[in-house]
Amino acid sequence: MLAVPAAGLVIATGAISPDHAWAEVERLGPVVGFLAAVLVLAHFCDVEGLFRACGAWMARSSAGRPGRLLTAVFALASAITAVLSLDATVVLLTPVVLATAARSGVRAKPHLYACAHLSNTASLLLPVSNLTNLLAFAASGLSFTRFAALMALPWLVAIGAEYLVFRRFFEDDLKAPAARSDTAETPALPVFALVTVGCTLAGFVVASAIGIDPAWVALVGALVLAGRALVRRQATPLTVMRSAAPGFLAFVLALGVVVRAVVDNGLADALRHVLPEGSGLVALLGIAALAAVLANLINNLPAVLVLLPLTATAGPGAVLAVLIGVNIGPNLTYAGSLATLLWRRIVQRHGHEVGLGEFTRLGLLAVPAALVPATLALWVSLQVVGV
């Protein structure tokens, strides 16, 4: 929450005027509102039992075989990140994966690392998958469906590259025999939650086509699940409000003000000298690489706030290249994204240590292996789908 006093400080010192700061808050307001609705939606999917059902499916489909469990984790984490956002994968799926690995008697490390990496990499697909996506979506001028169409191939390519790296890096862990296999009772499938999420996704497409802000659709989906929980006494108005993470939302708004002050006081000019121009293949690769480096230096959220205004004039291709860099790049270091920092805290809370050296070695392999082909796939999508 240091961003809040920092925002007050840059206003008080004149680094940014109050009017300019308020304009930045107004610009980010709809994006933050969209994020709040998605967080509520994900939370009440958990209340409905969606993630318990996911854990049971993983255990049943893997049958105590580590390689199969990794495949199941990749499939589920990719889908959940794309549809319910990376926060759902980090906060809700990671403990389920840990419990499933323990129940199946397999080594947890490959599957836990998969949750961390896919919370970043698999968030490329939809505007709702990540806060960085919401910001890029607003800057790109694309419709919801066009955004998804352009990012579908990069999403698949990046996940495939990560999967191959994981199979090789964790080869010994995946070959180790299961210590035991516990087949617990399978919980009922939460049909109401699945239907609500499906209708919400369909609503995004329809709303985008007719010019309605998709945030209203997210709000309706969140209200449906939250209202059901209230009626069934599974939640209170206070827990609904907490599920929207108001502290985090305030952090995002304050961070936007701080970054705007830094950009206006010289950072933008410095980056313009090194930022590739245009939206050709070489330029897209350069933009994605720069975004990845910047994400690891200052975190991916400030990085995207800095780079989007500088690339928006070059068109949607450049904006989406920034997104590839700030979504895949953070897998290199703990500090690359807030999601990775939160994931590490959750894993440690459950008694598992994550070594900095091992995390970095994996990132040194996985980030370039996913970043370069994903950017190439974006260039192909731009040629085929167009903007």
Question: pLDDT value at position 179?
Answer: 64
Please check whether residue 20 lies inside any domain of the structure: no
* Mean pLDDT value of segment 238-257: 88
Question: pLDDT value at position 207?
Answer: 86
Q: How distant is the alpha carbon of residue 89 from its chain centre? A: 8
Yes or no: say if 111 and 70 are a contact pair by the CB < 8 Å rule. yes
Taking the C-alpha atoms of residue 287 and residue 378, their distance in angstroms, rounded to an integer, is 12
What type of residue sits at position 173? D
50 has a pLDDT exceeding 60: yes
Q: Which of 18-22, 112-116, 279-283, 363-367 has the lowest mean pLDDT?
A: 18-22
When pLDDT is cut at 50, 70 and 90, the band that residue 117 belongs to is very high
**Token pair recorded at residue 268:** 């933008």
Question: pLDDT value at position 387?
Answer: 67
Closest to 163 measured CA to CA, from 155, 99, 128: 155
When pLDDT is cut at 50, 70 and 90, the band that residue 274 belongs to is confident
When pLDDT is cut at 50, 70 and 90, the band that residue 157 belongs to is very high
Non-local (6+) Cβ contacts of 121 within 8 A are 158, 159, 162, 327, 328, 331, 370
When pLDDT is cut at 50, 70 and 90, the band that residue 15 belongs to is confident
Closest to 182 measured CA to CA, from 71, 76, 102, 68: 102
171 has a pLDDT exceeding 90: yes
Share of the chain above pLDDT 90, in %: 49
Question: pLDDT value at position 80?
Answer: 94
When pLDDT is cut at 50, 70 and 90, the band that residue 1 belongs to is low
Reported residue count of the chain is 387
Task: Give pLDDT tens digits for 320-340.
Answer: 999 999 999 999 988 788 888
**Token pair recorded at residue 232:** 């069934």
Taking the C-alpha atoms of residue 78 and residue 277, their distance in angstroms, rounded to an integer, is 32
What type of residue sits at position 387? V
Please check whether residue 1 lies inside any domain of the structure: no
Taking the C-alpha atoms of residue 219 and residue 136, their distance in angstroms, rounded to an integer, is 20
Taking the C-alpha atoms of residue 69 and residue 11, their distance in angstroms, rounded to an integer, is 50
Yes or no: say if 129 and 41 are a contact pair by the CB < 8 Å rule. no
* Mean pLDDT value of segment 25-37: 85
- Residue with more model confidence, 139 or 61: 139
Q: What is the DSSP string of 118-141?
A: HHHHGGGSSGGG-HHHHHHHHHH-
Please check whether residue 2 lies inside any domain of the structure: no
Please check whether residue 176 lies inside any domain of the structure: yes
Please check whether residue 68 lies inside any domain of the structure: yes
Q: Domain range for residue 72?
A: 25-384
The rounded mean pLDDT for the chain is 89
Please check whether residue 349 lies inside any domain of the structure: yes
Please check whether residue 14 lies inside any domain of the structure: no
Taking the C-alpha atoms of residue 347 and residue 324, their distance in angstroms, rounded to an integer, is 26
Taking the C-alpha atoms of residue 193 and residue 48, their distance in angstroms, rounded to an integer, is 6
Taking the C-alpha atoms of residue 248 and residue 356, their distance in angstroms, rounded to an integer, is 26
Please check whether residue 12 lies inside any domain of the structure: no
List b or e across 35-48, with b for residues whose CB sees 16 or more CB atoms inside 10 angstroms.
Answer: bbbbbbbbbbbbbb
Number of domains, the chain: 1
Question: pLDDT value at position 115?
Answer: 95
Question: pLDDT value at position 55?
Answer: 87
When pLDDT is cut at 50, 70 and 90, the band that residue 182 belongs to is low
- Residue with more model confidence, 160 or 9: 160
**Token pair recorded at residue 65:** 């075989």
Question: pLDDT value at position 63?
Answer: 80
